[in-house]
Structure 1
Amino acid sequence: MLEFFYVEQLLDGMVTTIQLFAVSWVMAFTLAILLVIIRTTNLRVCRWLVDIFVEYHRNVPLMVQVLFWYFGMPELLPENIRFWLYDHNAELSLAAIALALGSSAYIAEDIRSGLRAIPGTQFEAARALGSSYLQCMRHIIVPQALRIAIAPLISRALLLFKNTSVAMAIGVVELTYQTREVENETYRTFATFGTATVLYLCGAFLIMFIGARITARFALKKGGA
């Protein structure tokens, strides 16, 4: 068993992991919705740009994306902004951006698959009743697509939670980073990684529990309707 001090250190890492996951998921989900809306427009240039964005993030390893954002992107910024970032926990912020961008490409595809399952007549009927394009997407099409895409979205959330461990490569003090630190200090590999495994499982089970509740709630609403 690990001493309380080391367990507390691992718990601090878990808190950072949860924060990184939550921020990344909110940004990824918001961006994915925007990508889906842009991709369904008739503007060919916009659709082409979204296609490039999605293909890049789906085919470039996540580790490379994180390293690029931490070591490459700051070089394009003015020096005073770059120094400000490094003085204000740039590792966590840039890791969240990289994770969010990478995940948004997959989430957008999941939501787009949900859109394909919706009959086109619903969009045509809404337009015939006087709704604008954005009103149709916001109030009718996208909510239905999200309901259809609940299962893959839960899977994406689980994957994003696990992928937060990649952030240790740029010095984010999350759970995997803390696990390596504790193991290096104590040389108790089994106890250290065993505790980290339990913490990751707890986080994953919590996400699955929340996902199951959301699925049940939507099923109840559908049944009531």
Structure 2
Amino acid sequence: MDFGFFWVTGVTTDGTIVVANSYGLGYIPDGVHLPDTVKMASADEAIPLSERATWATYPILAIQRWAQHHDKKLRAVVATEEQFATFDPGVAKVILTADDMPDTGTMQGRNRLEVIAPAAAQQLNAVSDTGLTELLPPAPADQEPPADDTAKLWFEVAKPLMSTSPQRGTAHLQAFVTYAEHAQVHALHQAHTATDAETQRQAIADWVYWQHLAVRVADAVNATATV
């Protein structure tokens, strides 16, 4: 489990389910799917990036502000006792225990690209296996894999969550931009070197996902700097 990473779920009085997690803006771990009816607070393009950036690392706040923006009233927030310890949602708390946690995070629904960039995901899904390479820029002559700083850069993403500083969200997002740019380079290399269509399609999805996330988070950092 990544340090400080967790999900929080909110339920509004009209039955809407909204989720948020403590990393990035629209970050979803690989392989995690969200049901079609579930909203993700930090991926909601109806809310200005400058506003969503202030929620970074504070998922309960994200759910509260998301509900306020959409003129909805929260009925309950679902999280663990530890997660509630530092933030009161102001509504009914549903406290999760270890026995409530599923063995895996596998769910039916939208993959992470479909959540944050549905149009791009639809475009990719419409491309035949034989047309996938046409979506990529020309491959470099040197097919050596790029330097892998994944672990180091991911630690920099997590490190601000070890702090109680009110400025930790900005530091977290800045580190996330660097990580996302690194991740897209590796995904593109994998897409260029894949030997089967399934692997190539997944690598392209990852490449596009990290591209979108890098731009979104960088724009959020810039937006907060100018507010």
The structure with the largest alpha-carbon Rg is 1
Asked if Structure 1 and Structure 2 have the same fold, meaning a TM-score greater than 0.5 normalized by the shorter chain, the answer is no
Greater percentage in helix: 1
> What's the TM-score, normalizing by structure 2?
0.28
Tell me which of the two structures has the higher relative contact order, counting C-alpha pairs closer than 8 angstroms and 6 or more residues apart. Answer: 1
Greater percentage in strand: 2
> What's the TM-score, normalizing by structure 1?
0.28
